[in-house]
Every structure is written in C-alpha cells, then in structure tokens.
C-alpha cells in the first residue's frame, strides 16, 4: 500500500477495521439513529449523568482558545484517581492515540514488537507495523499486552520483557490492582475514559509511566491531543465515578446462564464475555434446537463475544478478525437469544426491521 511519495507499508499490513457507522446501520434499517443501540464497541449503552450540556458550558464559552489551561487540572485529577504523581501522566485522544504514540516512540523499521495473548486488541499490530517494525517474539523493543484482555476477558500473567505496555482499558471492571505499581519497572499503563466512564465519543485516554518515560512520551505527543470539551467531560466523570456493580453482576449472571445452557464462557474480568470457538457444545444439535436463530448457533464454530450492557440487556456478537463486526443491534438474526438474555425482566424489544431492531430500554 503506497500513496504518492509516502513511505511504503509492509506487504501484509492491514489497517484498523471499524464496523459500519450508526448512521449507516440506521439508514439500512430505516430507523432513526437515536433508536439504535450498539453492542459491538464494548462501551456502556448510555452516557453518565455527568455528561450533560452544563458540563461543557464553560469550555464552550472559551472554545476559541486552545485547551492547554485544562490539562494541568485534568492531569492532577487523573493522577489522584490512579494513585500516581501528575508527572507520571500522559494525556491522549483515547487509549488508541497512546498505543500509536508509544509504538512510534519505541519502535521503527527493522525492530520487532511483541503482542501477547492473541487474540487481542488489533491496534497493537497496526501500531507496530505503522512504525515499520514487525510483530514477533525475538528480542522485542516493545511488548504490548491487554489486561483484562479484549476479547477473552482474561487477566493473563504479565509478560516479562521490558518495556511493556499494559493496556488497562477495562481495568475498572476487573477488581484487580492492575500494573500501575510497576511503572518504575519499565511498564507503561494505558487507560481510557471510553469504557467505564462512557466517554468513547469524547476521545480521552491517558498513559501512566515513570517520570522519565512520561516526559519522553509528552515530548513526542501532539501539542493538544484532548479538546477542552472532552477535558471538561472527563473531569466531571472523575468527580462522580459510575457504579459498575450492576454491570459486573450482569456479566456474572450472563456467564452463569450461558453455563446453564451448556456453553463455556471464559472467566471475564472485563465488561464482556467470550465463548471460545472450540467450545464443543456450541455445535451440538440440542443447543442449536434451543437457540435456533441465535448468533451462537449460527456461528457455533466461531468464537462469540458478548458485550455486557446493563442489567438484563446484553447481546452476543460473532467475534472475527479482531473485532465483533456483526455485533451491532439487537439484530433480527438473534431474536431467541435476545429473548433469553432479556428474560428476567424489563427491556422491551420491539419492531425488528432488517438487520437491526427498534428498541425501547426500560432500565431497572
């Protein structure tokens, strides 16, 4: 892949792949985009109460100015939340921005970057290859690992090579200490406001690293990676963090119900569940009969990732090539599964049309 005058990318390079946009899907289904709820991004289905117009009003009043004035305030708040010093914090436009930043800071043409525990988040490989490095195990200049791992939900042991990037995008759901205690031992922790804080559209993430590494990363970071509106939203979210207990309970309820149906979801420390492709029960006709139209029975030979959305409201998405490309909607191919998932009470699902459904959520 070569543009005019651009440096060539490796022959095997695959760019990051998104699922269709909400507008696209709504248009296909003939419904208003606001009626569509997506489950393929592993993000909460609704914003936090703190994400309201008043939160960004002051930032809007000064939107003609660059956002730097808010950075020390946000950095201090993140440092306090994470239990580190402000000098350990690097801001970014989401964890993705920091994955790319760390890759270009440590790797270049001819280098090897290691990606642990595949299947895992696909951007590590993209980021490594964009620098001209290749992905492998041999004497890596940088190692990426994801804890809890997307898509498996596992908290695998930390790889030993250093420098080591530990992507803790789902850390808040894990109940674990995470790797922040290792930042002075060659570890760079990445976190985001996109998951637990329901701010994926605002694009705010941060890295936690030793003072020296954080300074080097900040030197290489764009001058203003986070907008003032996004900084205001992140500050408000930190001031009133969400209660994740209902999502964690729902994850565990779903896992138990899946097990009672004969599936074997892996233990998950994230906001999703993963049923491996080699689960022998996924192919059994009894399960097929019970869930004849579900994505699990249709894709019994493929792994499935379930995004846990809110109590009694979750959906399965066939997992392939690093992302749940068919995971939007409740979609019309999964009505039985949806009914089962929603069985204990309220979410009202109605008017399926095309590949997505109109839905009304009545949360508990």
Residues that bind ligand PLP (CB under 6 A): 42, 94-96, 121, 146, 150, 167, 169, 192, 194, 200, 205
């729902």: which residue's tokens?
A: 250
Instruction: Between 107 and 196, name the residue whose CB sits nearer to ligand PLP.
Output: 196
Shortest Å, Cβ 149 to ligand PLP: 8
Shortest Å, Cβ 120 to ligand PLP: 8
Instruction: Between 150 and 228, name the residue whose CB sits nearer to ligand PLP.
Output: 150
Instruction: Between 116 and 291, name the residue whose CB sits nearer to ligand PLP.
Output: 116
Instruction: Between 153 and 330, name the residue whose CB sits nearer to ligand PLP.
Output: 153
Shortest Å, Cβ 348 to ligand PLP: 28
Please give the Cα distance from 269 to 266 (Å, whole number).
10
> Could you tell me which of 209, 174, 172 has the C-alpha nearest to residue 192?
172
- The angle at the Cα of 82, spanning 78 to 85, to the nearest 5 degrees, equals 75
Shortest Å, Cβ 7 to ligand PLP: 24
Instruction: Between 120 and 297, name the residue whose CB sits nearer to ligand PLP.
Output: 120
Instruction: Between 200 and 264, name the residue whose CB sits nearer to ligand PLP.
Output: 200
Helix residue spans in the chain (DSSP H): 22-29, 53-61, 70-82, 94-106, 123-130, 211-220, 228-239, 245-260, 285-290, 295-298, 335-341
> Could you tell me which of 203, 204, 127 has the C-alpha nearest to residue 165?
127
Shortest Å, Cβ 145 to ligand PLP: 10
Instruction: Between 166 and 357, name the residue whose CB sits nearer to ligand PLP.
Output: 166
For ligand PLP, the nearest residue by Cβ is 94
Please give the Cα distance from 212 to 113 (Å, whole number).
21
The strand pairing partners of 166, in sequence order, are 145, 189
Instruction: Between 31 and 146, name the residue whose CB sits nearer to ligand PLP.
Output: 146
How many H helices and E strands in the chain?
A: 11, 12
Please give the Cα distance from 205 to 82 (Å, whole number).
12
Shortest Å, Cβ 64 to ligand PLP: 27
Instruction: Between 108 and 201, name the residue whose CB sits nearer to ligand PLP.
Output: 201
Element (H, E) at 138: none
Please give the Cα distance from 47 to 218 (Å, whole number).
29
Shortest Å, Cβ 75 to ligand PLP: 17
Query: Any long-range contacts for 165-169 (C-beta under 8 Å, 24+ apart)?
Result: 165/99, 165/102, 165/124, 165/190, 166/190, 167/95, 167/99, 167/121, 167/124, 169/95, 169/121, 169/194, 169/195
Please give the Cα distance from 271 to 255 (Å, whole number).
12
Instruction: Between 169 and 236, name the residue whose CB sits nearer to ligand PLP.
Output: 169
Name the 3-class secondary structure at 110: coil
Shortest Å, Cβ 95 to ligand PLP: 4
Sequence length of the chain is 364
């Amino acid at each position: 892949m070569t543009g005019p005058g651009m440096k060539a990318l490796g022959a095997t390079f695959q760019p990051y792949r998104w699922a269709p946009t909400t507008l696209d899907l709504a248009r296909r289904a003939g419904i208003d985009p606001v009626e569509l709820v997506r489950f393929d991004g592993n993000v909460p289905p609704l914003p936090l109460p703190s994400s309201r117009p008043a939160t960004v009003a002051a930032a809007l009043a000064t939107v003609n100015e660059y956002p730097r004035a808010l950075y020390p305030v946000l950095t201090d708040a993140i440092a306090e939340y994470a239990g580190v010093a402000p000098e350990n914090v690097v801001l970014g436009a989401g964890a993705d921005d920091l994955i790319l930043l760390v890759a270009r800071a440590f790797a270049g043409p001819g280098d090897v970057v290691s990606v642990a525990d595949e299947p895992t988040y696909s951007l590590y490989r993209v980021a490594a290859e964009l620098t001209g490095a290749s992905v492998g195990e041999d004497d890596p200049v940088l190692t990426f690992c994801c804890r809890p791992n997307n898509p498996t939900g596992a908290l695998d042991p930390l790889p030993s090579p250093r420098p080591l990037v530990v992507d803790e995008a789902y850390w808040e759901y894990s109940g674990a200490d995470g790797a922040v205690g290792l930042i002075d031992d060659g570890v760079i922790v990445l976190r985001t406001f996109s998951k637990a804080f329901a701010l994926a559209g605002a694009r705010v993430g941060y890295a936690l690293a030793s003072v020296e590494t954080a300074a080097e990363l900040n030197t290489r970071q764009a001058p203003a990676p986070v907008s003032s509106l996004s900084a205001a939203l992140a500050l408000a979210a930190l001031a009133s963090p969400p209660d994740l207990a209902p999502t964690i309970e729902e994850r565990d309820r779903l896992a138990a119900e899946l097990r009672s149906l004969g599936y074997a979801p892996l233990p998950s420390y994230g906001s999703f569940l993963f049923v491996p492709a080699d689960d022998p029960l996924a192919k059994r006709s009894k399960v097929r009969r019970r869930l004849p139209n579900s994505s699990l029975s249709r894709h019994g030979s493929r792994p499935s990732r379930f995004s846990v959305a809110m109590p009694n409201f979750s959906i399965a998405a066939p997992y392939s090539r690093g992302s749940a490309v068919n995971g939007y909607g409740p979609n019309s191919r999964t009505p039985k599964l949806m009914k089962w998932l929603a069985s204990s009470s309220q979410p009202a699902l109605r008017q399926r049309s095309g590949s997505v459904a109109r839905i009304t959520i009545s949360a508990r």
